[in-house]
């Protein structure tokens, strides 16, 4: 019985460590993205965004010449950085300059 209890406690301790590490990692990543998102300004370069945040999780083509919206006519691609239920986007023009920033919750 003592061995069974020790095994259960070891498993629970392992699971606690895994969950705590995942939660801490999420918190650190979200804080980095949030802080950088606030600092990036329209006109900053694509390279500066990647230098600050690393490669994006997703790159989306946003150019639509048929659109009536000015942003989608000027936008070439959007870089998306994501955490659990949130994402931050940086849209770039053909010159690789930030033209818009987006933050979505529960996308």
Does an H or E element contain 74, and which?
A: helix 70-74
Cα–Cα distance measured from residue 99 to residue 49, given in angstroms and rounded to the nearest whole number: 12
Q: Would the pTM of this model clear 0.85, i.e. be above it?
A: no
Per domain, the residue ranges of the chain are: 2-105
Residue 61 has φ and ψ, to the nearest 5°, of -75, 125
Q: What 3-state DSSP class applies to 81?
A: strand
Greatest distance between any 2 Cα atoms in the chain: 72
Distance CA 79, CA 96 (A): 11
Bridge partners (DSSP) of residue 61 are 77
Per-residue pLDDT of 47-104, as tens digits, reads: 999 999 999 999 999 888 777 788 888 899 999 999 999 999 999 999 999 999 999 9
Structural class in CATH, domain 2-105:
alpha beta
Average pLDDT on 4-30 reads 90
Which residues are CB-neighbours of 73 under 8 A, at least 6 positions away? 63, 64, 65, 67
Q: What is the separation of C-alpha 10 from the centre of its chain, rounded to a whole number of angstroms?
A: 34
46 DSSP assignment:
H
């Amino acid at each position: 019985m003592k061995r069974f209890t020790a095994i259960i406690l070891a498993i629970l301790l392992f699971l606690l460590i895994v969950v705590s590490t995942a939660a801490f990692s999420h918190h650190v990543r979200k804080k980095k993205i949030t802080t950088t998102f606030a600092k990036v300004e329209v006109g900053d370069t694509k390279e500066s965004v990647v230098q600050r945040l690393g490669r994006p999780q997703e790159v989306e083509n946003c150019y639509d010449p048929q659109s009536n919206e000015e942003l989608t006519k000027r936008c070439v691609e959007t870089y998306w950085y994501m955490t659990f239920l949130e994402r931050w986007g940086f849209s770039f023009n053909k010159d690789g300059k930030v033209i818009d920033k987006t933050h979505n919750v529960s996308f």
